[in-house]
Amino acid sequence: MIPPVLFVVYRRPHTTARVFEAIRAARPTRLYVAADGPRGERAGEAERCAEVRQIATAVDWPCELRTLFRPRNLGCRRAVSEAITWFFQSEAEGVILEDDCLPDASFFPFCAELLSRYRREPRVMCITGNNFQRDMGDWPYSYYFSIFNHCWGWASWRRAWELFDAQLATFQALGGRRRLRQLSRVPGFVSYFTQQLAEVAAGRLDSWALVWTWSCWKEGGLTCTPRVNLVSNIGFGEDATHTFSTPAGREFTARGRIEFPLLHPSSLAPLTTFDDFVSRNHFRVGEATLLRRFGRFARQAAKYAARRLRGG
């Protein structure tokens, strides 16, 4: 059985159509479609949003369809997180796909099996379709446990989403930096994610995904990560919300297929080696820290030069 699917869409007909075809091929018996509203000041956006809603609801197989269509734009953080909450008000577990996350056919049964296997395991909070490793070496299992809950195609349970800290209140209450230090010893990890979460909390970064990441981290949550990448991000481009261009040296469009029957890991613990690779090579936390330090140095140098010019 394919789990219920939440399809989160907005204004991109070309990516929406490709992802919808993958959903149609999987034929879930319950499909939820949530769409953010158009920004009134953007010419042509209302028409694109309307076209997307038509594409995403063109169900032609036995399926219960439910929709949440916003009349006005809420922005990424509110629109997506509230859509997920709406989904889990009706479903105990399910798959979440955004309009630029194109899954392989094996992604759906992979999620279905692990949703069932870890249904009553509170330490497991997420199942992702993403794998950003370059080499899995001789890892013998179908997936590994990670601290990173990559959200380009994923699945979870109501019991996990109920722990979503929408306002990041626990980041201050629990001492966020202290918790981050417990997660990783990669240089720059703590400062990078402290800065990112601070930007979200201040409203300068419109991200629901970072809030979900923190929500898992505060609980010590683990994510099932497939040994091959199962979902392509096809949304890089000028009409994206965050992913305007593919970072140099990183390719997010390649996807593979998971083999069945699944081989399950023998222990329930994150693999530090794999997680450290993601910190350094996907998030580039060391580089980001150096850039911030350079930026501070440049600002201090500019202030010093200005004082010298003024004779200070």
- List, for residues 213-271, the tens digit of each pLDDT value: 999 999 999 999 999 999 999 987 554 454 444 554 444 568 999 999 999 999 999 99
For the chain, the C-alpha Rg in angstroms (whole number) is 21
User: Across the strands, what pairs with 223?
Assistant: 126, 146
Provide the residue ranges of all domains of the chain, joining segments of one domain with +.
Answer: 5-163+219-281
Q: What is the pTM of this model?
A: 0.89
Amino acid letter, residue 19:
V
Q: Among 3.30.450.370, 3.40.50.920, 3.90.550.10, 3.40.50.300, name the CATH number for the domain at 5-163+219-281.
A: 3.90.550.10
Do you know the residue count of the chain?
A: 312
pLDDT (0 to 100) of residue 184: 97
The 10s digit of each residue's pLDDT in 84-98 is 999 999 999 999 999
Q: At residue 142, what are phi and psi to the nearest 5 degrees?
A: -75, -15
Give the strands of the sheet with 154-157, arranged side by side. 64-69, 30-35, 5-9, 93-98, 154-157, 124-128, 222-226, 143-146
Percent of the chain with pLDDT over 90: 82
